[in-house]
Amino acid sequence: MITKLIRSVVPTSTLKSRIFKNLIAFTMLPFVLIAVIICINTYHDITKKYSDHVRERINESSNFINETLVKYIDKSSSIITNQYLINHLQKDYSGNLEQMIYFMDNINAMISEPFSGHIKSPYIIHTSNQSLYEGKFVHVMEETSANDWLVKAASAPATEILWEQQLTLKNKEKYVTFYRNIVDFNISVSILEVNIPYTVLEAIIDNSGIQGNALIFLVNDQGDVLQFTNHSNVIVNNVHDITPENFVMQSEKLKNGHTLTVALPRKEIYKQTLTTLLLLSVFFFVYVALMLIASHFTSRKITQNLQSFINQIKQKESLLLNENLIEIEGDDEVAIIKQKFKTLISRMNEIYQHNNALEIDLLQSRINPHLLYNSLSVIKWTASWNKDQKTIDIVNALTKYYRTALNKGNQIIQISAELEMIEEYVKINVHSHSCDYRLEVELEEGIAQYYTFKHLLQPIVENAILHGLNGKEEDARITIKGYWNQSDIVFEVSDNGRGMEQETIANLMNDTYSASASFGGYGIRNVRRRLQAYYGNGYIIQIQSEIGKGTMVLVPIAALNEQELTGRKKSGTASS
């Protein structure tokens, strides 16, 4: 959406647009980074807050539960170490009913606690003394093997507490149960069973005070779920699906080996983080809108003068024919470019008036290289100041091209230099036409070291770009091949453009055809004339073309070094 908004404000292929997008990028990047940091910190802060709260509450709950368990443990310790109880549990009460009743009353006074009628007594003494009657706190065992825990407790030391990991069910009520051995000089006298009503622990768990939508569950050391309370809106079918990836979790081990766990869905944290993100998003869109407006006016202000000049050139082609129409105001960088451009246009218009066989020589002799290089340097400096890499690339290509093209007035250059100049010419057209022309050069060994006259192949490449490939949007390709034909060199310049009809080719080869200029006839005519001047009438250009497939131009030359070619031109001894 932001990209569409930017495209609607400014075009995408202008200097103004590049300045605009750079301003947006450099102003928005810090904000985005800060927003990301704020969201991450907010998430961690909220997570820590919830985690600390859960830890605090679960510690409090586990402490309450452990205090309850310890109360029963302490009471059981006082019972199993009571010497009166130990001695009388071993006494034979046969025929002495009064003394047995008196003992049972003492047990009742010793270990009784208030409890409702439907809840079993917390403390039960299992004894094998058959002379005792069963009572509220005493159970006479007929077979100790009837309960595995009683068997285990009978062989355990008095200090050991044997907890049942599963909740026990007595009179339809659930209990946490443990056993202790009542010992007299390492001899098991009886077994104490302690039943802690689970409703007491359950109330502590349910009232743990965890804020938000929490899940609370209790498991034994075997992983069996003893209690599961879900206060959240998250559906959980199995507590083993509750993982730290989706929940903030805290667990505490209880005295009886059970584990109490509280889990808070991370969705609660995400909601609060999302609230922060939404606030940042609102601020972000306001910020983007302001930056779009500010960047638009800034880029417009920077490029306004230059853009105005470019629009004048586009709308008034007469500026290229009459330099006096170019108005120069101020003394900034754009004014310098205008002045240099005006001077260059003036020189070019002077050269353009001389249209004869020595047209290229005259052009090169009248151009002031220093003026051209200085103008290009000023343009490059201004583009570099404005960080316009495309203009820098164009200026670099122009500089390399004219350095070879001017060549200090020399008309004879090495074949390798001619090809380098063509490469720079193609680069210039790539930038100016916004089309990705591809140049491929293939030379057989030894050809590049020989010499020829300047602009032997460049006009042909120019025709291929302007007339053959013009309008081709994809895979616009020019190929130059150089190969030996006995002692001569043949250049094959081909393109995959629109091609020409045979009538057009015939007109191009006819020097008297006046309309041939529309198909690049002046360039072809110039190359043909200079081929005859340097190499003689035996060296003739050939053109092969097919509509829709492209054009191929064959240019033969003699393999000559610099001295040989210079001597031929001066003496006029080119073979006929």
Nearest C-alpha neighbor of 159 from the set 180, 179, 178: 180
Output the pTM of the full model: 0.45
Q: According to the model, what pLDDT value does residue 114 have?
A: 54
The residue with tokens 């302690």 is: 194
List average pLDDT for each run of 10 residues in the chain, which is 576 residues long: 50 62 73 80 78 82 89 91 90 87 85 56 86 84 70 89 89 90 90 90 73 77 82 76 82 89 80 76 76 72 67 62 66 71 69 45 44 54 63 68 62 90 86 82 94 90 87 86 94 93 86 55 81 87 92 94 79 49
574 token code pair: 């080119």
CB atoms within 10 A of CB 421: 23
Phi, psi of 139 (to 5 degrees): -130, 120
Q: According to the model, what pLDDT value does residue 191 have?
A: 92
CA distance readout (Å), 239 to 199, 226, 397:
22, 11, 71
Contact of 182 with 86, CB cutoff 8 Å:
yes
Nearest C-alpha neighbor of 534 from the set 489, 574, 487, 576: 574
> Between vectors from CA 407 to CA 420 and to CA 574, what angle results, nearest 5°?
90
Say how far residue 396 (Cα) sits from the centre of its chain: 34
| CA–CA gap between residue 416 and residue 205 (Å, rounded) | 90
Q: What tens digit of pLDDT does each residue of 471-515 get? A: 787 888 999 999 999 999 999 999 999 999 998 888 888 866 654
Burial degree of 187 (CB within 10 A; 0-12, 13-18, 19+):
exposed
